[in-house]
Amino acid sequence: MKLNRKDILGLKDLSVEEINLILDTADSFRDIATRKRKKVPTLQGNTVVNLFYEKSTRTRTSFEIAAKRLSADTVNFVAAESSVGKGETFIDTVKNIEAMHPDVIVVRHSSAGAPHMLAKMIKPGVINAGDGAHEHPSQALLDMSMIRDEKGGFAGLEVAIIGDIAHSRVARSNIYGLTRMGAKVRVSGPATMIPPGIERLGVTVAPTIEEALRGVDVIMMLRIQLERQARPLFSSTREYSRFFGLNEQRVRLARPDAFIMHPGPINRGVEIDSAVADSERSRILNQVTNGVAVRMALLYLVTGGGN
């Protein structure tokens, strides 16, 4: 089976079959990372351009390592040093990159929808590495890969997503993906961080973190993005922690076999206590490992690979 699309823009568009194909492909790539020779010739002679309009090392490095393990050539195009400063439009920059015949452009942009617009205008595959507060599909897919690993599937699973739901592209992509696959999603956070009408996406809103956690199979904590808030959405990080931080006591409200995820980087003592982040239930670092495999799968599938 092959992916019938050249772009990965968001979870909103992906079907159950497509999500399963991506997760299965990621599984098949996973063991490459633990070999002595962590490299397969699959994408030799392919060019992957990382086009990042927002600072990122974690996601870019994950894509770069994924591409190199598939033997693709990678070029990093950081917008800060680019012609952006010379007044060139986004589309012109991208059209110029396209003219150098890359196979895939991995793009992160502060504007929601930028990768979607781009994907329509160019021939190479486009992978959205985060667009504004909209979607971050490779993150959601690695989260889902992690959940499927642990739980064997999604049907009937109860997942709590806690934090700034309104501004989180990670939350949005996970909500689309998890509900599509049959999981039940509850969200919780300060009132200023819960977008009105979020229930229409098929989730329930819990008024307190305690209610959100009760009996869940999976706890997904979101990063408090202090650096993104123009105006503060809560009075202090201490207060945030008191009402919505994950501590050991709260973890006990979940099912005994529940595990904890976080897209990173974590703010220790704010949205998650150190004891919890470093506990046996934490899968935060396993998520990162799965991230490389999922991104290998995405690069492979958008360039026409199949299983």
Rounded to whole angstroms, how far apart are CA atoms 203 and 112?
A: 22
291 binds a copy of itself (CB under 8 A): yes
- Binding window for a copy of itself (CB under 8 A); candidates: 10-18, 155-163, 211-219, 260-268: 260-268
| φ/ψ of residue 259, rounded to 5 | -130, 170
121 binds a copy of itself (CB under 8 A): no
Q: ∠ CA(130), CA(133), CA(134), 5° rounding?
A: 70
Cβ proximity to a copy of itself: between 226 and 275 the closer is 226
Q: What is the contact mask toward a copy of itself in residues 30 to 49, using x (rule: CB under 8 A)?
A: ---xxxxxxx----xxxx-x
- Binding window for a copy of itself (CB under 8 A); candidates: 3-11, 53-61, 168-176, 196-204: 53-61
Per-residue burial over 264-280, b = 16 or more CB atoms within 10 Å of its CB, e = otherwise: bebbeebbbbeebbeee
Q: What is the contact mask toward a copy of itself in residues 69 to 108, using x (rule: CB under 8 A)?
A: x---x-x-xx--xxx-xxxxx--xx-xxxxxxxxx-----
- Binding window for a copy of itself (CB under 8 A); candidates: 110-118, 140-148, 197-205, 266-274: 266-274
286 binds a copy of itself (CB under 8 A): yes
Residue type, 63: F
Q: How far is the CB of 213 from a copy of itself (least distance, A)?
A: 23
20 binds a copy of itself (CB under 8 A): no
Helix (H, G, I), strand (E, B) or coil at 159: strand
170 binds a copy of itself (CB under 8 A): no
Q: What is the contact mask toward a copy of itself in residues 220 to 259, using x (rule: CB under 8 A)?
A: -----xxx--------------------------------
| φ/ψ of residue 88, rounded to 5 | -75, 145
Q: What's the Cα-to-Cα distance from 100 to each of 8, 22, 103, 174, rounded to whole Å?
A: 21, 28, 10, 34
* From 15, 208, 268, 307, residue interacting with a copy of itself (rule: CB under 8 A): 268
- Binding window for a copy of itself (CB under 8 A); candidates: 58-66, 142-150, 168-176, 191-199: 58-66
Rounded to whole angstroms, how far apart are CA atoms 4 and 125?
A: 12
Rounded to whole angstroms, how far apart are CA atoms 192 and 147?
A: 28
Q: How many CB atoms lie within 10 A of CB 198?
A: 18
| φ/ψ of residue 105, rounded to 5 | -115, 120
* From 18, 64, 135, 143, residue interacting with a copy of itself (rule: CB under 8 A): 64
* From 113, 132, 195, 264, residue interacting with a copy of itself (rule: CB under 8 A): 264
Rounded to whole angstroms, how far apart are CA atoms 42 and 68?
A: 10
Rounded to whole angstroms, how far apart are CA atoms 204 and 188?
A: 9
Cβ proximity to a copy of itself: between 97 and 127 the closer is 97
The answer to whether the CB of 304 falls within 8 A of the CB of 2 is: yes
275 binds a copy of itself (CB under 8 A): no
Binding site for a copy of itself (CB under 8 A): 33-39, 44-47, 49, 55-58, 61-62, 64-65, 68-69, 73, 75, 77-78, 81-83, 85-89, 92-93, 95-103, 225-227, 264-268, 285-289, 291-292
